[in-house]
Amino acid sequence: MIHQVNVSGRRVLTFPAVHPCESISPSTLLNSLIELAQSICAYKSHFFSSNKRNAHETIRQVQNVLILLEDIRVGLSDVPDSFVLGLSELHLAFQKIHFLLEDCTCEDARLWMLMKSDRVANQFRVLIRAISTGLDVLPHETVGVSSEVKELVELAMRQARKARFEVDPDDKRVINDVFRILGRFKDGVDPDRNEKQQVLYYLGIKNWSECNKEIKFLDTEIGTEYLNEEKRRELSLLSSLMGLLSYCRCVMFDLVDTKANQQVNQWSTKMLNGVSPDDFRCPISLEIMKDPVTLSSGHTYDRASILKWFRAGNSTCPKTGERLKNKELVSNLALKRIIQDWSVENGVCIGEESSHKNLDITRTVLAGSMAAEGAVKLLANFLAGRLVDGTSEEKNKAAYEIRLLTKTSIFSRSCLVEVGCIPSLLNLLSSKDSSTQENAIAALLNLSKHQKSKSIIVGNGGLELIIDVLKKGLKVEARNHAAATLFYIASIEEYRKLIGEIPEAIPALVEMVRDGTNRGKKNALVAIFGLLMHPGNHWKVLAAGTVPLLVDLLSSSNRQEIVTNSLAVLATIAEKVEGTLAIIRHGALNVIVRILDDSTSRAGKEYCVSLLLALCINGGAYVVALLAKSPSLMGSLYSLLSEGTSRASKKASALIRVLHEFYERSSSGALAPVLPQERSVHVW
């Protein structure tokens, strides 16, 4: 079913309760049960946006049981073994109740919990009856508890058996309001503002950031539901609710209150600064894990890799060798979220292979439901109007909303391009307000991924404006976004040529590689990589001093993605003789061989081999002779034959043949290694 990723890694409406172990002492179990009951009772003061009556009734029942448990603890210095079964049943039920109350008070799943009220009510009913079962097998008559407590417990048992947990009438009313609003979106009609306001008020969604939390939750749930190809029952409702809240966030809240979010982001950034990509690698594939799962041994692997391990007939933990009690895979959601945050912070290396399609983005080609489609189309028109007729503050907020909407939604990009947002966003690039400029260029970056947008950007004079932001943007983030935008525009051959013809473009990108932030370096490198696809840009990249800069980065950078991207650019440069000469003259061979030996990145190794092969082809016997002196090179190449990608394996095989031919000619004395003559091109 659909669940939330929360701080503990548990998802909404799952109840991973653990039965107390058989060897636990009755006294320890009783104390743990009392602590758990007290924790449940503390929810009495929490805000329940929905399911209030059922939650408070459940808490009241647990309070009654707590009185009994505390009376037992006072009356017995040593709890008899006969109590273990009843206490264990109560403990299991209390764990699930605690999970359910946690879900009902979750701040970012309020709308979803409201819409699942029928299931929640049923779950409360089941758990209350589980308490009754636990009390039935608890021999409390043998304990010297007061008659008042016994009567209270008996009353609680009778009430638990008879309790009818139904959806709160107020919840039903608001659920009907939500469906009525979704129906209006489906018909392409803007719902009544007061009606939307009443739903938000009922749920306690009072500001922009609270609404945004709900949207993030729903987006995560949609992605998770989509991955489960056999069960996509909730996709339509989830998409509709996300469309509703996205519309409300943009239209209903004028102020973007991001202070709390900024504090969380600052904490997240500090945490991510202390981690290395190696922390996220699967011990089997050595690649960044896309879907980390944990075995009964406690060790975590990428799902695809461990399943392949099991299919090969293995039943042990690959890391420790211990035999597994079972082959159950538990999703490590907390680690997955950290990896996702790290990926957003650092980007993805160019050329890195993916073992599966990126469903998180391809699923957004369509809106997901008719209601969601209507909501997004209405919202696109609203934002386009704000960009044209709004105040400076309203234009800034509209650009920010477009930036968020287009980050992961192909359908939103399409709608916003169709209503003509791009020219208005280009106008905002000249804004003297740093926030407005940053939001506009970030929105254009996202929109530039849409096929139709590139010609609109270029046709409206966008290249010069974007390059101006690249050079003189008011914030470093704006300059970083500008570099990434050029990368996407450069995916069209005609536009690669146009960008290269602007004198400031390539030097500005090279300057960002030299002096920019890590993200800026990455963005500039991939942009240069894209521009090199046009042959006429090669000499311009060389003339800008790219080669010595990248060779230095190979030795000095501790960021694997930057090293990999630098190798990718150098491998493309080396395809021309002039590029080969520049790379050789700056002493890059030993550095490249060392990276090939030490790197754990499959893409990095592939680019190393591609680069070395190109240097041998264009550098001739001189380069081959230098490589032949490396004692570790052949070992690294042979390992790639079995462990590398298919392309890396083919190139490693070709390079091995070149080296073998060199050894054969060397033994016959038919060698004259001479460095090829440099052509008349200014390369540094």
| 625-676 pLDDT tens trace | 888 888 888 888 888 888 877 888 898 898 889 888 888 777 665 554 444 4
Query: Could you tell me which residue, 238 or 22, shows the higher pLDDT?
Result: 238
Q: Which pLDDT score, from 0 to 100, does residue 679 have?
A: 40
pTM of the predicted structure, to 2 decimals = 0.81
Give the 3-state secondary structure of residue 300. strand
Side-chain-side CA neighbours of residue 584 (13 Å): 29
Q: Of the segments 330-334, 341-345, 626-630, which one has the largest average pLDDT value?
A: 626-630
Q: Is the pLDDT of residue 596 over 80?
A: yes
Confidence band for 345, pLDDT divided at 50, 70 and 90: low
Residue 136 has pLDDT above 60, yes or no: yes
Q: Which residues contact 93 (CB under 8 A, 6 or more apart)?
A: 127, 130, 131, 134
Residue 78: pLDDT band (50, 70, 90) is: low
Tell how strand 330-331 and strand 300-302 pair up.
unpaired
- Candidate ranges 75-84, 147-156, 194-203, 266-275; pick with highest mean pLDDT: 194-203
Among the listed residues 116, 125, 155, the one whose alpha carbon sits nearest the alpha carbon of residue 237:
116
Closest residue by Cα to residue 382 from 255, 257, 254, 256:
254
CB 301 within 8 A of CB 295: yes
User: C-alpha angle with apex 154: 148 to 160, nearest 5 degrees?
Assistant: 135
Tell me what the mean pLDDT of segment 91-116 comes to: 94
Q: What's the angle, vertex CA 480, arms to CA 476 and CA 486, rounded to 5?
A: 145
In three-state form (DSSP H/G/I as H, E/B as E, the rest C), the secondary structure along 302-356 is EHHHHHHHHHCCCCECCCCCCECCCCCCEECHHHHHHHHHHHHHHCCCCCCCCCC
Closest CA to 67 of 96, 92, 33, 98: 33
Report the pLDDT value the prediction gives residue 352, as an integer from 0 to 100.
42
- Does residue 200 or residue 640 have the better pLDDT? 200
Query: What's the mean pLDDT in 51-69?
Result: 90
Kind plus residue range of the DSSP H or E element containing 575:
none
Name the more confident of 196 and 641.
Answer: 196
Of the candidates 325, 275, 277, 330, which has an alpha carbon nearest to the alpha carbon of residue 301? Answer: 330
State both tokens at 31: 């104390």
Which has the minimum average pLDDT: 334-338, 365-369, 464-468, 537-541? 334-338
Q: pLDDT tens for residues 228-266?
A: 655 567 889 999 999 999 999 999 999 998 754 454 445
What is residue 105's predicted lDDT score, i.e. its pLDDT? 94
Using CA atoms, how far residue 69 sits from 1, 29, 85, 146, 474, in Å, is: 34, 11, 14, 12, 64
pLDDT of residue 2: 32
Q: What is the pLDDT of residue 351?
A: 39
Range from 146-150, 494-498, 654-658 carrying the lowest mean pLDDT: 146-150
pLDDT at 670: 53
Averaged pLDDT, 36-57: 94
> For the purposes of burial, counting CB atoms within 10 Å of the CB of 412, is it exposed (0-12), middle (13-18) or buried (19 or more)?
buried
Give the model confidence (pLDDT) of 375-385 as tens digits.
Answer: 999 999 999 99
Collapse the DSSP code of 301 into the 3-class scheme (helix H, G, I; strand E, B; otherwise coil) and give the result.
strand
The pLDDT, as a whole number, for residue 190 is 92
Q: What is the distance between the alpha carbons of residues 128 and 657, in angstroms, rounded to a whole number?
A: 73
Stretch among 74-78, 402-406, 490-494, 632-636 having the lowest mean pLDDT: 74-78
CB < 8 Å & 24+ apart, contacts of 355-358:
355/287, 355/290, 355/304, 356/290, 356/304
Nearest CA-CA partner of 251 in 367, 108, 398? 398
Percent of the chain scoring above 90 in pLDDT: 51
Report the pLDDT value the prediction gives residue 332, as an integer from 0 to 100.
Answer: 78
User: What's the pLDDT at 226?
Assistant: 76
Nearest to 602 by CA among 552, 558, 569, 642: 642
Is residue 357 over pLDDT 50? no
For the chain, the average pLDDT equals: 85
